[in-house]
Amino acid sequence: MPATQPGAFRPEPRASARGLALTALVLAAGFVLGWLAELGVPGLRGFGIMWPQRWDFFTGMSHNSVVPYRFVGEEKALAPLDEIGWNGLGRAAETRVVQAWQFARLVPDDHWHACGRSNPLDCGLDLDAADIYRMWTGSPDSLLCGKLALSLERTEVTPVGKLPAVPRTVYRIALVDLSCR
């Protein structure tokens, strides 16, 4: 059997080099235009929208998130939920995030309270344990059950090279009692 079949496609070395050069030129031009758009050069605002360079565009950190905390007894301390880990191929942590959003949407506005504390775990000190909203989860297999504090938080996005004083800001917090039975 011959090494090269008649009529087989064999790209010319010159065509391959031209393709590589064109790809490198497009990538370099995109990098330079993106860099100039970030510097605020007039006329490149449209390029910044078409090819965003902001970190929060890729991470979604500029959006609110609902974080559930355990509400621990009379001292009104909040404790992170740590019984669900991020290990393996399980989806328990992602399911918990979705359930927290679902339950937060059901809490009436008059049960949400502002939190002015810098540490999210200190927000429980401002809450009244009598102002707890009770609801049924709708499933005995729910990952979120019992007395919880649902907080509406946002991660602070800071300029490059600077660390935020407070990594997360709690905007609102509500006490809920989720019945799973």
Give pLDDT tens digits for 29-45: 888 887 787 777 888 76
> In this model, does residue 85 exceed pLDDT 70?
no
For strands 146-155 and 65-72, give the pairing. Answer: antiparallel
Residue 163 lies in a domain: yes
Highest-confidence range of 33-37, 54-58, 94-98, 110-114, by mean pLDDT? 110-114
Supply the pLDDT for residue 137. Answer: 84
For residue 63, give its domain range.
52-179
> In this model, does residue 105 exceed pLDDT 90?
yes
Mean pLDDT for the stretch of residues 80-86: 63
List, for residues 144-175, the tens digit of each pLDDT value. 888 888 988 887 766 767 776 667 778 889 99
Tokens of 19: 């393709």
CB 109 within 8 A of CB 133: no
Q: Band the pLDDT of 24: cuts 50, 70, 90.
A: very high
Determine if the pTM surpasses 0.85.
Answer: no
> What is the DSSP code (8-state) at residue 122?
G
Domain match, 100 and 31 both = no
Residue 115: Cβ-neighbour burial (10 angstroms; 0-12, 13-18, 19+):
buried
**Which residue carries 């605020």 as its tokens?**
40
Domain match, 31 and 60 both = no
Report how far residue 136's alpha carbon sits from residue 161's, in angstroms, rounded to the nearest whole number.
45
Residue 21 lies in a domain: yes
Domain match, 141 and 79 both = yes
Give how many domains the chain has, as a whole number.
2
Domain match, 26 and 71 both = no
Residue 58 lies in a domain: yes
Residue 3 lies in a domain: no
Domain match, 111 and 130 both = yes
Supply the pLDDT for residue 108. Answer: 93
Residue 98 lies in a domain: yes
Supply the pLDDT for residue 103. Answer: 92
Domain match, 40 and 59 both = no
